[in-house]
Structure 1
Amino acid sequence: MSVVFVGVDPSSKNGESATVWLSTETGELFVQSYRATDEEIRECKEAGSGPGHSTEVPPHETIIRIPVSVLQILQEACSASGPHLG
């Protein structure tokens, strides 16, 4: 798999960088960010999920919190993913 760096949270401190990468083969995004707290996970579960989907988080998945300052980087990554799917 070939992965390219897309961007890092411009407001983050050293060692605490929300970061986004893009797979040039699949168009999938990889995001490094803050783990959601137990309270945030509980609130997500209370908010519900789509029909036919459980609000339980499987052991191989997690909920992350993405800072608002990273949303533009995610938009750039989504825009860039199209041409890479070839």
Structure 2
Amino acid sequence: MNLQFIGIDPNTGDGESPTVWVDQQAKELVLQGWKPGTDLAAACAQFEVPGHAVGIPDHEAVIRIPARMVAMIREACDAIERPDVP
């Protein structure tokens, strides 16, 4: 796996480190964030929309990313869509 580091929460320094990477080979964003409280996870698990069963599968997770990282997520989206990167 060849991860491209995009950025880390600018407020890192207190032991927390939400981070954004791109996996160019898989064409996926890779996000590290905070685990949600049980209330948020339960609320997300209750959503039922077309193509999405109720609940969160064991192989998936809900995470929180601070809004101050939106620019990094946009950069990751741009990076993954670049045709010149394998």
**TM range, smaller chain:** 0.7 to 0.9
* Letter aligned with residue 64 of structure 2: R
SS at match of 2:56: coil
Q: What's 1:56 paired with?
A: 55
Percent identity of the aligned residues?
A: 34
Cα RMSD after superposing both structures:
1.8
Q: 1:80 to 1:52 in 2, by over 3 A?
A: closer
Alpha-carbon separation, structure 2, partners of 1:68 and 1:35: 15
Shift of 1:59: 1.2
Alpha-carbon separation, structure 2, partners of 1:49 and 1:29: 24
Unaligned runs of 5+ in 1: none
Q: What's 2:72 paired with?
A: 73
SS at match of 1:34: coil
Question: Are the counterparts in 1 of residues 44 and 55 from structure 2 also a CA contact under 8 Å?
Answer: no
Unaligned runs of 5+ in 2: none
Show CA shifts across 1:41-63 (max 9, x none): 122234x2321311201111111
Q: What TM-score do the two structures reach when normalised by structure 1?
A: 0.83
Q: What TM-score do the two structures reach when normalised by structure 2?
A: 0.83
Alpha-carbon separation, structure 1, partners of 2:54 and 2:12: 30
Q: 1:71 to 1:49 in 2, by over 3 A?
A: farther
